[in-house]
Structures are given as structure tokens and as C-alpha cells.
Structure 1
Amino acid sequence: MKTYEVAAAALSKQGARTIFGLMGDANLAYVGAYVENEGGEFVAAVAEGSAVSMADGFHRMTGEVGVASVTHGPAVTNCLTALTEAVRARSEVLLITGGTPDVRHHFQALDLEGFARGAGAQYLRVRRPDDAPGDIAQAFVQVRAAGRPLVLDIPYDLLERPAEHTSVPHADGGRTKTAPDRDALDDALGILLSTRRPLILAGRGAVRAGARDDILRLARLLDAPVMTTLLAKDLFHGEPENLGIHGNLSSGVAAEEIARADCVLAFGASLNTFTTDGNALLRGKSVIQCDDRVDAVGRFGLVSLALIADAGLAARAMCARLAEAGHTSPGIRRVTALQGKLTTAGQRSYRSITGGGTVDMRDAMKWLGEVLPSGTQVVTDVGRFSFAAWKHLDVTPGRFTVPGTFGSIGLGIGTAVGAAAARRDVPTVCVAGDGGGMMGILELSTAVRYELPLVVVILNDNCYGAEYRKLADLGLNTRHSEVAWPEFGEVGRSLGAQAVTVREEKDLAVAAEAIANGTFPLLIEIKADPARRRPGKSI
């Protein structure tokens, strides 16, 4: 067998059921063999960076390793932003490429190990044809064990050389659930019981650990409210202890309670600057950080106590330890008082600005949450628009993600295509602004080619929203941030998708019917006012 055939068989053996990418000299042989000989699926993206975003989205929604493959040289450099996003999001992504032919001054030569290092990814090179099966298995092991992307280099010159087809077992390499140390557990409970107003915060790690019910049981034993990070949004939806998102997306009532809290117990939350407002929201409080990764603890600020454990096991052990000690719930006086405040605050809500040919983004997101079927996957891009989605769009915990850890707009649609390819029994919705949407819209054609159940919602205020606001704050002309885009509906239809343009509330019914009928891929453009003015003042 040739090395490329052995590589294709090894990828299939290690559980790669879908590979995202673009073909070129460095990968076309093993990608072709993977499809033809192994029955694998290859999803061809429009751009290499989008292929990495797709692999990232695939992992975020399944927990499986997301695999992307591109050729050498500029194909690799085109992946830098998406790969850096995956690194910072701790996504399990394997990016396969290959060194250029070993000739003097090859025009596409690139230091692949240096590239990987620059993005923060791991690097592994296949050095001999017979090493390919073992090295591919090792790559999967390292990605799973480290929870960090890896760049696998299968040099071009090896691909057509003979290789031994050694059978390498499927390598799991996943992390085992870590139980909490008993002494550390007692120390944590000692801190919690010595404080008067503890608050419990759950992050993405708590969602992945399935820790929801155990955390709620602990909260009830402590009469403590619960909050989440953005990526754990709606984990406690409908529960009386729920105060929503912790950080700059908090409600007024939640913000007041955060300020009064004297202890924060965080499960599977990184406590990054968005969650803690640059650590300001934790200042003066006892902070207990529970995470199954040692390097995640204290990464963004000092903590009082580290509890290295799986979120679910830790919360369950805390409840059991309290029961052993004869601890009983102090009642729900604090939670009841907070619920009363939340009810009063909810009655005031916000003042809609729908009218005059534009729709309030908040209204649009509330509507979207009402019409999407249960279990829908939701991906949001980042930008000024995203606050409307994050605050007003209800989601299914574990099926919501934001490719925004690197602060780049434009990654949303690619990530959503990967999520849609991973799970085709429910719709996947990408909410994007017009700027980021225009960057990624060509990947709508990928969803069309593979008949994916994708809905792209563009909140279009014809500008780069954050820059619009900042220019206005500086007293400068906002026109520098404004863009006269083509009609997104027309662009969507030209790429083969169905499209609906929403200018008034009645147009939402047309979009809702398209979603209900499974008219996918579907693009919905929501016309919005960049200045967020009152109705009747046309733009």
C-alpha cells in the first residue's frame, strides 16, 4: 500500500467520520482514498480557514475530534485566525497538512512547526511511511488529552511511498473524570459555610459534565442563587435560583446580587475577563474555582481555593459531605426575595424600536427563540449585534456556542456549517451581523451543496456596529463605519439557498413558515437601524 492509503485507513480507524477542508497537492490523495476506500465524508469548504472553523463547530456540538485537512503553503496561513480561535476555545481540532516537496527554495515552503506554535497549537510530523498509522493515532490521543488543536504534518514526499499497513487500535486518549480530593473538598465547604451570601457560577465545563442537577441540589442546600457564563447560557432556565448570565450581560437584579455576594463557587468556568469584568466582579470575595484542568485555575486572576475535579463529581461530593455532616438547607428566603425582584424588573423589560421599516434586534431574537424547534443548535458570531442574541434568544444548553475567544468577527457561519454537518436531525442557526456575515457568506454554498439544515440570520444595520458607536462617542462622523451591502437575500439565493427579508413584524411570519417547513438552507435578513433610533425615523 501507499502511505496515502495507509493514512486514509488510519483516519477512519481513529473515528474521523467527517473531514472538512480543501483539496490540493498535499492532501488530495489521502482525502480521495478516505472517501473511496473508507466510506468517509469529505465536506469541501470554500476557504481553508472556514474548514478549520467547521471542524471547530463539529467538535463543539459533538465532543468528537473535529478534523480539517488543507494543502501546504498559503492554504495553511489562511487557517491562522480560525486555528487560533480553536486553540483559545480549547477545542479538540486536528488540522492535517503537509510539508512541501523537498526541493531547494520551494515557493510554498513554510515552517509548519513555527506556524503551529504561533497559533498555540501542538505539532506532530510523520517522518517515515511506516509511522503513519501510529502517528495519526498519537495525534488523536494528544488532541483529546490536551484539549487543544494539533497540526499534523504528513509531508508531500511521503504520500506515494510504500508503507506497511499496520493495524493500530482505536486510541481513545480521553480524559478520565477526576474526583475531588477530600481535604480540598472540606476546605471548600468550610469557606462556603463561613460566608453569608454565596453565589454559584457554572461554565461550559459544567454543561459538558452534565452537572446541572447536582449544582442545583447544592445551591438549594446553601440557599444560593446560580448563574452561568455565556457559553453555559440557559443551563438553569426556569429554576427559581437562576439569575442568568454573570458579567456584562447580567440583569440589574443579578448585578446587584453579584456585588453583595461574599463568595463565588465556580464550576467549569474559566473566570475570564468577560465573565468577571476584568476580575472586578470577584474583588473582595472568596473564590473557589473547580475545574478538571490544573492550568485553567487562576489563569485570569487569583482564587482562594482550587478544586481540581470534574464539575459533576465535585458538586455531588459536596452534597454528600454536607449530608454526612447533618447540614440542612437554611430555607429559600434569599432565593425567594431575589425572584420577587426579578419578576418586578421583568415587567419593565425594554422599549421596542421596531417600526419605520426596521425591526428591533431584541424583538427578532425573542421571535427566533419562539419558533425554533427544541434541540436546535445555535452559533452566534460576535459584534455589537450579539448582545441582542445573547440576552434575548433562548437556547438549548450544550447546543450553543460562540466562536469569539480570539475576538474575530466572521467565524460564525463556518462554525455553524460544521455544527450542522455534525448533527443533521435538527436545524443549526447562525446569528451574525452584516459585517461578519458578509465575510463568511460564501460558506452558505457549502451548506447548499451538502444539503445541511442551516439557517443563517443576518442582523443587518448596514454598519460595523461597535465602530459606529465608538465613532459617535468620539464625536466623529459615523459614516466611516457604514457600508451599503448588497441585499443579503439576493446573495443567499444566488448561492442556492432560500431567503427571506424582514423589514416589518409581518415578515417574521414568512420566515417562521420557512423554518417550520424545513426550507433549508435558509437565509433570513433582519433589517435594523444602526443608530437604534425611535420608530418612524427612517435611515
Structure 2
Amino acid sequence: MKTYQLAAQSLSECGVGTIFGLMGDVNLAYLGDFVENHGGEFVAAVAEGGAVSMADGYARMTGGVGVASVTHGPAVTNCTTALVEAVRSRSALLLLTGATPDVRDHFQDLDLEGFARLTGAEYRRVRKADAVGADIAEALARVAATRVPLVLDLPYDLLEVAVTGESPRAVPPLPVPGAPDPDLVDDALAALLGSARPVILAGRGAVASGARDDILRLARAIDAPVMTTLLAKDFFAGEPENLGVHGSLSHAVAIEELGRVDCMLVVGAALSSFTTDNTALLAGKFVIQVDDRSGAFGRFAPVDLPIPGDAAGVVRALCERLAEAEAPVPSGRRVAQLAEAVQGLEAKGYRSISGGGTVDMRDAMARLADLLPQGTQVVTDVGRFSFAAWKYLPVDPGRFTVPGAFGSIGLGIATAVGAAAGRRDVPTVCVAGDGGAMMGLVEVSTAVRHRLPLVLVVLDDHCYGAEYLKLESLGLATAHSEVEWPGFAETARALGARAVTVREVDEFAQVRELLDEGAYPLVIEVKADPARRRPELAAVAGHAR
């Protein structure tokens, strides 16, 4: 047996079923063996960065480790942006690559350890051929435990070495989080009960740990509203305690209430600048943070009381300790009043600007929500368009993600392809702006080749939206940000997908027909107005084209 064969066997024995990537000299042998002799699946991306994003999306939606494999040199550098995004999103991702042949001045030589350090990923090198099985097993276990992406270097010169074919040694299971410190639980309860207007903020960690019911139980026991980060959006949908997303997406009632809050219990959320408006929303509040990572405390914002532990476990301990204390039952008036205010706010709705050949992005998201089957996965790219998706497209928080931790547009489509490969029983919807869609559109062909249930919605306003607004605010011509793209539907058809163009709200009827047929991959091109103006003013608007 050769090293490449042992590598393929080890990947399979460690439970890896799907690998995303591009073949080259350093990986084609073990990838071919993985597929032919171990029943594995190789999802061949168009670009290496797309492969990493696919593994990222797979990890986010399945909860397992996403594995990507690329060859050396430029293949590795092409992964940079996608790998930084995975690192900053704490995705469980393993990137397999390898050093070039050990010859003088190899033209594709690259410092792989330096590359990993640049992106924030860990780096491990396979140094002995017969250790490849153990190294793969340990790398997968480490990524699963730490949720820090890892670059595993399997050098080209080791691939053909004869080995014994030993199976990878067993890796100890992850430790189960212990009970939270009772003194910290008491301190947190004292702060919550001693405050006049507490609030509970849940993040992706709360979703992953299944803390929803425990959080609501605690919120009702102390008459506190609940909120979420963007990545936990809709975690408390339909509950009277729900005040929606905390931060720049907060509605008027939530913003007003946040100005009065004096204590915040943060459960499984990182308190990033987007969630806290660069810590401004934490001013004057006693902050209690619950997280299973010690590095989370104080990373973005100061914390008064850090509590290490599993989100659901800590909140459950708070509920149990509160019951033991026999604290007075709150009146419930605060939550009731806030719920009534939110209901009045939602009744106001918004003024649609659909018409004249363009569709209001909010209308598009609301109509799309009516068409999608239950359990649909949702991935959004980032940009001006995304506020419409985040506000008007309901999601299952366990099946929703945003590859936006690095602030790069264009990662959404490949991330959604990986998510679709991880869960094929339901559609995966990617909502992207036109600029980001052009960057990632080629990976629609990957979804076509692998028959993945992908639905791509392109909100096409013919411009880079954030730049449009900034140019406008400076009194400069918005034409600098505007682009006449080729037709997205037409391009999608050339890539092998089904596609439709929507210029009027009523045209979503044809989308329903295609979804009912299971016509995947499907690209929906929605024409929108870059100026966000009322249709009747379109003819007289003075923006340059």
C-alpha cells in the first residue's frame, strides 16, 4: 500500500463522505482512490476558493467537519479569502494540501505554514508516511473540538512511499462540558433579579446547543424580552418575548427598549461590532456572557461576568437555581407591553416600490417566503441587498448562515453549494446581490454537475449597492458604481441550470411552478431599482446611467 492509498482509507474510516476541491499533482491520487475504492464523493469545484467555501457551508449546515482538498502553490493562495472567512466564522473545516516536490527553486513552492498563519488557521505537516492515518484522524478531531480551521500538509514526496496500511488510531471523544460554577450562577441571578429591565441575547451558540426552551423559561421567570444576533435570527419567532435581532437590524420598539435595559444576559453570542454597534449598545449595562470558549470573553467588548460552559446547560442551571430561591413571580406587564408595541409596529408594514419593470427587494423576499418548503436552508451573501433578506425572509435558525465575517461579497453561492451537498432532502436557497453573484456564478455549474437542490436568487439592481449610497452621499455620480451585467438567467442557462427573470411581483407565479417541479438548480433573477425610488419617479430621476 502507498501513502496516498492509506490517506484515502483513513479519510473514509474517519467518517469523511464528501470532499470538495480541485485535483492537482499533490491530491489527485488519494482523491481518485477515495472515490473508486472507498465509495467517497468528490465535489469538484470550479475554483479553489469555491471549494473551501463549499466545505465551510457543509460544516455550518451539517454540524460536522467540512473537508476541502487542493493542490499546491497558486491553488493554495486562491483559497485565502474563503479560508479567512471560515476562520472568523469558527467553521469546522479541514483543508488538505501538500508541499511541492523537494527540488531546488520549484516554481510553485509556497510557505504553507506562513499561509496558514496569515489566514488564522492552524497548520500541521505529515512528516512520516506511515503516520498519515493518525495525522488525518487527529486533524479531524482537533477541528471538530476547536472549530478552528486547519491546513494539513501531505507533501508530494510522501505520496508514493510504501506503508503498512495501519488504520488510524482512535481519537478520544470530545469532553462533555461540566456543570457551571455555582458561584457564577448565583452572581448572574443576583444581577438579573437586581436589575430593573434585563434582556436575554441569544447567538448561534445558543441555537447549536438547543437552548431555546431554557432561555424562554428563564425569560418568563424574570419578565425579560429576548433578542438574537443575526445568525440566530428567528430563534424565538412567534413568541411574545421576542424583540427580534439585536443591533443595526433592530426595529424601533427594540431600539427604544435597549436604551432602557440595564442588564444583559448574552448566551452563545460573540458581541461583535455589528451586534453591539461598536459596543455603543452595551453602554450602561451589566453584561453577563455565557460561552463554551474562554477566548470569547472580552474579545469584542468588555464583559462584567463571564460564565464558561454550554449555553443550554448554564441557562438550565440558572432556571433551577431561580426555582430553588423561590423568587417572587413577576407581573409579566413589561413583556406584554413590548409585545403589544411590536404588534402595532408590524401592522404598519412598508410602502412598496414595486412596479414599472422592477420589484421591491422586500416584496421579493416576502413572496419567496410563501413559496419555499418547510426546512429550506438559507444562505445570504452580503451587501446592501441583504437587509431585505434578513428582515423579510423568515428562516429556520438552525439552517441559516451568512458568510460575512470577513466582509467579502461573492462567497455566498459556493457556501450554499456546500450546504446543499450536506443536506439534499430540502432546497438550499442562496440570496445574493448582482455584484457578489457575478463573482460566484461559475459555481452554479458545480451544483448542476452534482444535481444539487440549489436555488439562487439574484437581487439585481445593476450596481454595487453600498458604493452607490456612498457616492450619492458625497454628491458624486452613482454611475461609477453601476454595471450593466449580462443577463443572469441567460448565463445560468448556459451553465446548465433552469432560470427565470422576474420583473413584476406577479411573475413569482412561474417560480412556484418551477419549485413544484423540483427544477434544481434554479436561478431566479429579480430586477430591482438601484435608486430605491417610487416607480412613478423613475422617469425623472437624475442619476447618471
TM-score (norm 1): 0.99
Report if the CA contact (8 A) 2:133-2:169 is conserved. Answer: no
Cα distance in structure 1, aligned partners of 2:171 and 2:490: 47
Q: Which residue of 2 aligns with 1:362?
A: 362
Deviation at 1:326, TM superposition (A): 0.9
Once the two structures are superposed, residues 356-399 of structure 1 have per-residue CA deviations (whole angstroms, 9 ceiling, x without a partner) of 10000001111111111111000000000000000110001110
Report if the CA contact (8 A) 1:357-1:538 is conserved. Answer: no
Q: Which residue of 2 aligns with 1:501?
A: 501
Once the two structures are superposed, residues 228-278 of structure 1 have per-residue CA deviations (whole angstroms, 9 ceiling, x without a partner) of 000000000000000000000000001111111001100000000000000
TM-score (norm 2): 0.98
Deviation at 1:179, TM superposition (A): 2.5
Once the two structures are superposed, residues 168-188 of structure 1 have per-residue CA deviations (whole angstroms, 9 ceiling, x without a partner) of 245365452342111111111
User: Mapping of 1:44-63 within 5 angstroms?
Assistant: 44-63=44-63
Aligned pair in 2 of structure 1 residues 175, 228: CA closer, same or farther (>3 Å)? Answer: farther
Secondary structure in structure 1 of the residue aligned to 2:259: helix
User: Mapping of 1:66-465 within 5 angstroms?
Assistant: 66-171=66-171, 173-174=173-174, 176-465=176-465
Cα distance in structure 2, aligned partners of 1:147 and 1:382: 23
Deviation at 1:343, TM superposition (A): 1.4
Cα distance in structure 2, aligned partners of 1:369 and 1:420: 18
Aligned pair in 2 of structure 1 residues 173, 142: CA closer, same or farther (>3 Å)? Answer: farther
Specify every segment of 5 or more residues in structure 1 that has no aligned partner in the other structure, as ranges: none
Q: Which residue of 2 aligns with 1:521?
A: 521
Cα distance in structure 1, aligned partners of 2:228 and 2:44: 36
Report if the CA contact (8 A) 1:417-1:447 is conserved. Answer: yes
* CA root-mean-square deviation: 0.9
Cα distance in structure 2, aligned partners of 1:38 and 1:184: 49
Report if the CA contact (8 A) 1:444-1:521 is conserved. Answer: yes
The alignment-based identity, stated in percent, is 66
Cα distance in structure 1, aligned partners of 2:163 and 2:529: 61
Secondary structure in structure 1 of the residue aligned to 2:501: strand
Secondary structure in structure 2 of the residue aligned to 1:354: coil
Cα distance in structure 1, aligned partners of 2:470 and 2:143: 40
Once the two structures are superposed, residues 158-209 of structure 1 have per-residue CA deviations (whole angstroms, 9 ceiling, x without a partner) of 0011112112245365452342111111111111111010000000000000
Secondary structure in structure 1 of the residue aligned to 2:358: coil
Secondary structure in structure 1 of the residue aligned to 2:426: coil
Cα distance in structure 1, aligned partners of 2:242 and 2:178: 27
Secondary structure in structure 2 of the residue aligned to 1:179: coil
Secondary structure in structure 2 of the residue aligned to 1:398: helix
Cα distance in structure 2, aligned partners of 1:503 and 1:365: 14
Deviation at 1:123, TM superposition (A): 0.4
Is 324-333 or 441-450 further displaced after alignment? 324-333
> Partner amino acid for 1:189?
L
> Partner amino acid for 2:533?
R
Aligned pair in 2 of structure 1 residues 406, 33: CA closer, same or farther (>3 Å)? Answer: same
Cα distance in structure 1, aligned partners of 2:95 and 2:188: 40
Cα distance in structure 2, aligned partners of 1:267 and 1:174: 21
Aligned pair in 2 of structure 1 residues 175, 202: CA closer, same or farther (>3 Å)? Answer: farther
Cα distance in structure 1, aligned partners of 2:164 and 2:81: 36
Report if the CA contact (8 A) 2:365-2:388 is conserved. Answer: yes
> Partner amino acid for 2:114?
G
Deviation at 1:401, TM superposition (A): 0.1
Deviation at 1:331, TM superposition (A): 2.5
Report if the CA contact (8 A) 2:134-2:169 is conserved. Answer: no
> Partner amino acid for 1:180?
P
> Partner amino acid for 2:266?
A
Cα distance in structure 2, aligned partners of 1:173 and 1:74: 36
Cα distance in structure 2, aligned partners of 1:288 and 1:11: 41
Cα distance in structure 2, aligned partners of 1:89 and 1:174: 21
Cα distance in structure 1, aligned partners of 2:257 and 2:437: 37
Q: Which residue of 2 aligns with 1:3?
A: 3
Secondary structure in structure 2 of the residue aligned to 1:177: coil
Report if the CA contact (8 A) 2:73-2:109 is conserved. Answer: yes
Report if the CA contact (8 A) 1:14-1:171 is conserved. Answer: no
Aligned residues: 539
Deviation at 1:344, TM superposition (A): 1.4
Deviation at 1:298, TM superposition (A): 1.0
Report if the CA contact (8 A) 1:13-1:170 is conserved. Answer: no
Report if the CA contact (8 A) 1:20-1:67 is conserved. Answer: yes
Report if the CA contact (8 A) 1:268-1:290 is conserved. Answer: yes
